[in-house]
A and B are shown apart, each in its own frame.
Chain A
Amino acid sequence: MRRAWPSAPQQALNMAQPDAASLIEEHISELVEVWVKAVRSDQTIQSDSDLSEGGLIDHVPILLEEICSVLRSGERPCAENTHEARVHSYTRFRQGYRARDLVRETSLLRIIILDHLGKNLINGSNHSSMELFINASRTINLYIDEELRYAVSIYMESK
């Protein structure tokens, strides 16, 4: 019989991360602004050209709020707690966004959140702040991956 992988994400993620959640929550507008600039200036993304600023921002602030809520709960991101991420992908799908552009803009969002947390959480070689950053990054990565899993399904499977 195979033994379970000791660091399987399901078991490892059971610690609430309220500090990381607050750091994101207090800067949602700023993060969205940085993200909009990043998307607009990314030459590889073309689907955004027809969207107004409101259309581009879309559901992203609400998605960030949901990330904060998942961080606070300490739950592992899964279909049951990533509702707003699905709204983001679904809206892009309906807006005629190309799948690869959705992946790229979501990737930019991931980098912006992680950079923001890294800048604010990691103080020198403080071990606990490093641990906090790693745990929060893990949750955020799983959350974004959950959104992308859903995006792949709707882009590939729908008739």
Chain B
Amino acid sequence: MIVQDDFDQFVKNYNNDYFYLLTRASRGSYDCLITSFIVLKDLYDVVLKLHETTRLEYRIVPYPLTFRASEPFLKGLGFDDEQIQLIHGFLSHVRNTQGKEFEECIEEGVAFCATTGTKHGPT
């Protein structure tokens, strides 16, 4: 049985990973980023499910995993205008390289990594 302190750590790790991926997007480093987001979405689903089905609390609030991050949200996380533009650019990048929207890739859990030429999905 997972205890509150473990859950807090779990959420903290998720938050760090999410922020790291957004930071990568904000630098225009898009290679295989979609695959990382797919893995992170699984982690996020676990956080939500644990909170929904147990007595665990959001003592640390998980960043909401948004597919269409708005400017006030991203500014609240400390990104500036240029970085926000690059984060939004990632969504166009996904559309161009995957032939579908970011949220579709995330929901389907499968993405094509252009750099390595391989298809990634849950194992």
Q: B-contacting residues of A (Cβ < 8 Å)?
A: 54-55, 58-59, 62, 65, 79-80, 83-84, 86-87, 90-91, 93-95, 153-154, 157-159
Contacts and interface: CB of A to CB of B under 8 A. Distances in A.
B14 to A, nearest CB: 14
B73 A91 contact: yes
B59 A87 contact: no
B57 interface: yes
B57 A83 contact: no
11 contacts: A54-B72, A58-B73, A59-B73, A62-B68, A65-B68, A79-B48, A83-B67, A90-B63, A91-B73, A158-B59, A158-B60
Contacts of B58: 153-154, 157-158
Nearest to A51: B72
Given A153-B58, A158-B61, A95 B72 contact: yes
A128 B68 CA distance: 34
Contact of B70 (A80, A91, A94, A95): A91
A83 B64 contact: yes
Contact of A90 (B51, B59, B73): B73
A153 B61 CA distance: 9
A80 B48 contact: yes
A84 B58 CA distance: 18
Contacts of B68: 62, 65, 84
B48 A90 contact: no
